[in-house]
Amino acid sequence: MQHTSLDTAVSHRRIVLAARPKGRPVASDFRLETVPAPAVGEGQVLLRTLWLSIDPYMRNLMDEVGPGYAPRIEIGAPIVGGTVSRVAASRHPGFQVGELVLAQAGWQELALSDGTDLRRLGEMAHPSHALGGLGMPGFTAHVGLLDIGQPTPGETVVVAAATGAVGSVVGQIARLRGARVVGVAGGAAKVRHALEALGLDACVDRHDPQFAQRLAQACPRGIDVYFENVGGPVLDAVLPLLNVGARVPLCGFVAHYNDGPAPAGPDLRPSLLATVLQKRVRLQGFIILDHDGQRFETFQREMAAWVQRGEVKLHEEVIDGLQHAPAALQDLLDGRHIGKVVVRVGRG
């Protein structure tokens, strides 16, 4: 097959893992490198990264012992991550130069693919949305809330990190399902965003010294569905409020991603297990990669319609430049962003 190409780059930049973080990642855990552009082999495509997704799970994959659902990042290897990429060169019969694709190119300007991990996007008005509300975070919200949480009209749904990439979609879908939605967010600006931009019924600031009492006041009929992606003191405040038969979809626990060895202190496991048992709580963890295929098509169709009608609003924070990806991840883990965080790596 003839090698077709619109790319003449001889080198590109990438960010690799320089050291395994001890707690919160710091600048020295990453290294920005300039390396030769990869050669395109038979059956491969060369991808040029346009948009890079920044997600909490990236921190888990940097640890010495991974969480079991994805391979860890090796020292000296590029940080993993979802991307919106343009096919820059192709020796693959199924992909043409210039096509826009959803990929897993990671923190680098150029990457090779055999095509098996690519999803065609067509031309989109907002391609970066394929990394947010129309992509993995939105899909996580859709599966976790509707398949596991299964809210019904009039029930109370509480969502942690209510202004984040996943939580912001969870809250809006729950409202569309007729539930009363209470968000949990960090800081006055996020609380305002949840109420004014996302249309939640109530939102509680997790930094409030009386957070547990405020949450109880916001949920006078208890909690029927708690969408868990934080853990920590938020979970502690939620547990006593769960109703009999409550459902808890669990997709993450970002409050603990930077934890070291567990400190000495009270053992909270009996309280958790007693609540799950006595209130017949369904606590179900899920990995969104397990739900691809036809389930993704259902999500994509419904979400695209909601966004087009203005029933679900997508908010992004755009960081310009690959070199700023480490700081973007640090800020995300520190809770400094609202909505989906994306890095603009290239244009075109």
| CA–CA gap between residue 255 and residue 234 (Å, rounded) | 9
Nearest-CA neighbor of 81 among 113, 52, 48? 52
Token pair of 302, please? 């419904």
Q: How confident is the model at residue 1 (pLDDT cuts 50, 70, 90)?
A: very low
CA 244 to chain centre: 29
Tens of pLDDT, residue by residue over 100-126, are: 999 999 999 999 999 999 999 988 889
Residue 7: which pLDDT band, with cuts at 50, 70 and 90? low
- With a CB cutoff of 8 Å and minimum separation 6, the contacts of 79 are 15, 16, 17, 30, 58, 62, 73, 106, 107, 325
Please check whether residue 71 is in contact with residue 28, taking contact to mean a CB–CB distance below 8 angstroms: no
- CATH code at 136-289: 3.40.50.720
CA distances from 66 to 83, 228, 279 (A): 22, 20, 32
**Burial zone of 31 (CB within 10 Å; 0-12 exposed, 13-18 middle, 19+ buried):** middle
Which tokens sit at 73? 């990042």
Are the folds of 4-132+315-344 and 136-289 the same?
A: no
Contact assessment for residue 206 and residue 194, using Cβ atoms and an 8 Å cutoff: no
DSSP state of 124: -
Between 82-86, 196-200, 267-271, 319-323, the lowest mean confidence (pLDDT) is in 267-271
Percentage above 70 pLDDT, the chain: 93
Mean pLDDT of the chain: 92
| Nearest residue to 211 via CA among 160, 175, 250, 246 | 160
CATH of the structural domain 4-132+315-344, one choice from 3.40.50.620, 3.90.180.10, 3.30.1600.10, 3.40.50.360: 3.90.180.10
Q: Is the pLDDT of residue 33 over 50?
A: yes
Distance in angstroms (rounded) separating the CA atoms of residues 100 and 130: 11
Q: CA-to-CA distance for 247 and 149, rounded, in angstroms?
A: 5
What is the per-residue pLDDT for 123? 83
pLDDT at 255: 57
Instruction: Answer for the pair 212, 236: CB distance below 8 angstroms, yes or no.
Output: yes
Query: Average pLDDT in the 272-289 region?
Result: 89
Cβ atoms within 10 Å of 302's Cβ, excluding its own: 16
Cβ-Cβ contacts under 8 Å for 264 (sequence gap 6 or more): none
Q: Give Cβ neighbours of residue 345 (< 8 Å, ≥ 6 apart).
A: 49, 50, 51, 52, 83, 109, 321, 322
Distance separating alpha carbons of residues 219 and 66, to the nearest angstrom: 36
The phi, psi pair for 90, rounded to 5°, reads: -145, 130
Contact 314, 307 (CB under 8 A): yes
Q: What angle do CA 58, 48, 96 make, to 5 degrees?
A: 125
Q: What percent of the chain has pLDDT over 90?
A: 78
pLDDT digits (tens, 9 = 90+) for 141-153: 999 999 999 999 9
Q: How far is Cα 340 from Cα 134, in angstroms, rounded to an integer?
A: 11
* Residue of 162, 238, 164, 231 lying closest to 200 (CA atoms): 162
Q: What is the DSSP letter of 208?
A: S
3-class DSSP string for 228-267? ECCCHHHHHHHHHHEEEEEEEEECCCHHHCCCCCCCCCCC
Break the chain into its structural domains and give their ranges.
4-132+315-344, 136-289
